[in-house]
């Protein structure tokens, strides 16, 4: 079992989908990543910041999942990061109705002393300088640094982003963002270009169309599970990343072969996340259900052709 | 080896893509289906109609591929069906610039006497009444009737289309068309609804995002091969259908397990089709290349997770 450092937002989301709407509920990249990774009983720490308005029982819940929460800073006179969004009917696009950075504006991440030698670092979507700050606190080079990011940082902090990308092993990014970052329409070409920027592995997330893992001249594909209904996509990408990182931290094998398995686990966990609002489905998820879903992924993709 | 009846257009296409443009070149659903099916050395017949302007050497070429061309009617004083289209930069959408039905307007398909007992019938995209006319000429119920269709017939001949759908075993349809036909956004729900209309198997084509095979409560997914560049998507869907039908006719096994393999073969053949303009790549394709690509599909999708 490797140690896993998770940095990202712990936040409030208010979500509207064709199926209903919520008030402020628990959300945030690090929350989803942590909940997914906790399925593997990892030795993980969440590094984040919340305001005095954040429910103590949500922090206790993360702790009960086996996560070190000592580096979730609580700014008592500050307010927690808040995002409000509305999904369109196709669930693939959404409008952001509100973003309040609040305490996140001055976030200064501190890696807990006993996690400075962690083997796996999962950098959730945040300002690239914050992500870089975490890498710089590590006392030895982690075996695997995974970065998630988004188009917002390409638009507003590209130079900083490129500095972080140079230092990581795996980037997870969606298809449109891969195209934006490289100017290449073909995802094969985009992935090749990103590999020259630093990462050995490129994971391109295509939402309901699955995810691609690129390494050298190899490519592996994990489909998204076709679902009767997608209730709320919020957090699916972070859950994917958390499942991916958690599986790797548990198995301590950072080979391409094992990364394939990790993206299947990530996809399986993400397929649960979208079944209910926010973190709801991830909170009551048990290992038996996860195993059953991995079997569904097998029957979805495995075939046996004898070549003559 | 089963007999395979193929009905569809044999036509001229003029194509413009970001990579270049062509004058009138060989195209048509039955052409692409036949070329793909011929990879399996099937005993196949093409039923179609062309005008006096159609090159005799193209018919000879199809014959050289082992296909019975006796039911490709030649209307000497008529003109061949012609389609002209232009693809947008993303290659996923296109504008139709011209459609001239010509001899297709009065097409009356005749199934050759020695193919009236064929085990597999592949109904390429055509007016549903023409497709129905082929089914009605069969002297015994084929073991597998596969139907390809498109939104045009849903808009203009829905009642006729529903009559054909009732009589078939497999429908191949794209994602938007599945949604239009059923009013269901979820492809899982759409497939379930289509199964109540007649077909036991529903294949939903998602272009560059692969294809789904639904049967009962089962679902199987074949990705499209990620390519460095897609040169010309024309005929990819027909090539997919032709590979699917050809593999099934060759193996004479119409089980769900074997249909899975058939959609992998269909996907593999379609991945060649898009590499060059029109039929060009399919004409010089050999079995070794196909086998190699099937291996690529294996490495793209196969994983081995041990569940504890």
Residue ranges of domains in chain A: 3-166+225-285
The encoded tokens of residue B10 equal 């044999």
Residue B300 to chain A, least CA–CA distance (Å)? 4
Tens digit of pLDDT for each residue in A93-131? 889 999 999 999 999 999 999 999 999 999 999 999 999
CB nearest B226 (choices: A185, A187, A294): A187
Contact B261 A187 (CB under 8 A): no
Question: Is-contact A245 A251, C-beta < 8 A?
Answer: no
State the average pLDDT for chain A.
96
Phi, psi dihedral angles at B67 (to 5 degrees):
-95, 140
Question: Is-contact A7 A145, C-beta < 8 A?
Answer: no
Which pLDDT does position B308 carry in this prediction?
55
Average pLDDT over residues B129-143: 98
Closest CA to B155 of B137, B177, B134, B138: B177
Tens digit of pLDDT for each residue in B231-257? 899 999 999 999 999 999 999 999 999
The encoded tokens of residue A297 equal 């992924």
- Work out the percent of chain A whose per-residue pLDDT is above 70: 99
Tens digit of pLDDT for each residue in A249-269? 999 999 999 999 999 999 999
Residue B16: strand, helix, or coil: strand
d(CA B139, CA A205) in angstroms, rounded, equals 50
Question: Is-contact B164 B195, C-beta < 8 A?
Answer: no
Question: Is-contact A272 A63, C-beta < 8 A?
Answer: no
User: What is the CB-side half-sphere exposure of residue A243 using CA atoms within 13 A?
Assistant: 26
The encoded tokens of residue B24 equal 């009138």
Contact A226 B261 (CB under 8 A): no
Query: A220 contacts in B (CB within 8 Å)?
Result: 299-301, 303
Question: Is-contact B134 B109, C-beta < 8 A?
Answer: yes
Which pLDDT does position A225 carry in this prediction?
94
CB nearest B303 (choices: A188, A206, A261): A261
Contact A188 B212 (CB under 8 A): no
Residue A213 to chain B, least CA–CA distance (Å)? 9
Please name the fold of domain B3-301: 3.40.1190
d(CA B146, CA B190) in angstroms, rounded, equals 18
Q: Is the pLDDT of residue A308 over 70?
A: no
In chain A, residues 198-257 whose CB comes closer than 8 Å to chain B:
206, 209-210, 212, 218-221, 223, 226-230
Closest CA to A185 of B133, B230, B299: B230
Tens digit of pLDDT for each residue in A216-254? 999 999 999 999 988 899 999 999 999 999 999 999 999
Contact A295 B303 (CB under 8 A): no
3-state secondary structure chain A: CCEEEEECCCEEEEEEECCEECCCEEECHHHHHHHHHHHHCCEEEEEEEEECCCCHHHHHHHHHCCEECCCEEEECCCCCCEEEEEECCCCCCEEEEEEECHHHHHCCCCCCHHHCCCCEEEECCCCHHHHHHHHHHCCCCCCEEEEECCHHHHHHCHHHHHHHHCCCCEEEEEHHHHHHHHCCCCHHHHHHHHHHHCCCEEEEECHHHCEEEEECCEEEEECCCCCCCCCCCCCHHHHHHHHHHHHHHHHCCCCHHHHHHHHHHHHHHHHHHCCCCCCHHHHCCCHHHHHHHHHHHHHHHCCCCCCC
Residues 6 or more apart whose CB falls under 8 angstroms from that of A273 comprise: A32, A36, A235, A236, A239, A281, A282
Neighbours of A33 (CB within 10 A): 35
Asked if the C-beta of A21 comes within 8 angstroms of chain B's C-beta atoms, the answer is: no
d(CA B194, CA B185) in angstroms, rounded, equals 13
Which pLDDT does position A141 carry in this prediction?
97
Asked if the C-beta of A294 comes within 8 angstroms of chain B's C-beta atoms, the answer is: yes
Alpha helices in chain B (DSSP H): 29-37, 56-64, 128-137, 151-156, 158-165, 175-182, 187-195, 236-251, 256-273, 280-283, 287-301
The residue assigned the tokens 């379609």 is: B270
Q: What is the CATH number of domain A3-166+225-285?
A: 3.40.1190.20
Residue A7 to chain B, least CA–CA distance (Å)? 28
- Work out the percent of chain B whose per-residue pLDDT is above 70: 99
Count of A–B CB contacts within 8 Å?
A: 89
The encoded tokens of residue B58 equal 């193209």
Residues 6 or more apart whose CB falls under 8 angstroms from that of B244 comprise: B146, B172, B203, B259, B262, B263, B265, B266
Question: Is-contact A159 A181, C-beta < 8 A?
Answer: no
Reported as a pLDDT band with limits 50, 70 and 90, residue A305 is confident
Average pLDDT over residues A192-218: 97
Which pLDDT does position A86 carry in this prediction?
95
Q: Is the pLDDT of residue B46 over 60?
A: yes
Q: At what angle do helices B256-273 and B287-301 cross, to 10 degrees?
A: 110
Contact A294 B302 (CB under 8 A): no
Contact B221 A218 (CB under 8 A): no
Which pLDDT does position A19 carry in this prediction?
86
Reported as a pLDDT band with limits 50, 70 and 90, residue B30 is very high
The encoded tokens of residue B249 equal 């006719």
Query: B226 contacts in A (CB within 8 Å)?
Result: 186-188, 212, 219, 221
Contact B301 A220 (CB under 8 A): yes
């Amino acid at each position: 079992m490797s140690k896993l450092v998770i940095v990202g937002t712990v936040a409030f989301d208010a979500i509207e989908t064709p199926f209903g709407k919520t008030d402020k509920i628990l959300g945030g990249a690090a929350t989803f990543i942590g909940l997914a990774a906790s399925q593997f009983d990892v030795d993980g720490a969440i590094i984040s910041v919340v305001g005095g308005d954040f429910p103590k029982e949500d922090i206790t819940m993360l702790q009960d999942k086996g996560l070190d929460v000592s580096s979730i800073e609580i700014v008592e006179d500050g307010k927690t990061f808040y995002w409000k969004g509305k999904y369109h009917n196709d669930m693939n696009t959404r409008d952001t109705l509100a973003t309040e950075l609040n305490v996140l504006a001055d976030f200064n991440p501190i890696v807990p002393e006993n996690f400075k030698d962690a083997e796996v670092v999962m950098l959730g979507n945040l300002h690239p300088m914050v992500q870089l700050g975490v890498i710089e606190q590590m006392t030895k080079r982690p075996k695997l640094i995974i970065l998630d990011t988004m188009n917002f940082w390409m638009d507003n902090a590209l130079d900083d982003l490129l500095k972080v990308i140079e230092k990581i092993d795996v980037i997870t990014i969606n298809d449109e963002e891969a195209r934006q970052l490289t100017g290449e329409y073909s995802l094969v070409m985009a992935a090749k270009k990103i590999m020259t920027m630093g990462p050995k592995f490129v994971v391109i997330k295509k939402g309901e169309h699955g995810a691609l893992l690129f390494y050298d001249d190899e490519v592996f594909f994990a489909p998204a599970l076709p679902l009767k209904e997608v209730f709320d996509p919020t957090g699916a990408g972070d859950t994917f990343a958390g499942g991916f990182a958690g599986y790797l931290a548990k198995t301590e094998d950072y080979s391409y072969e094992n990364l394939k398995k990790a993206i299947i686990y990530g996809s399986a966990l993400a397929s649960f996340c979208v079944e209910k609002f926010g973190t709801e489905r991830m909170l009551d998820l048990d290992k038996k259900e996860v195993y059953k879903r991995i079997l569904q992924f097998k029957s979805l993709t495995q075939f046996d052709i004898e070549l003559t």
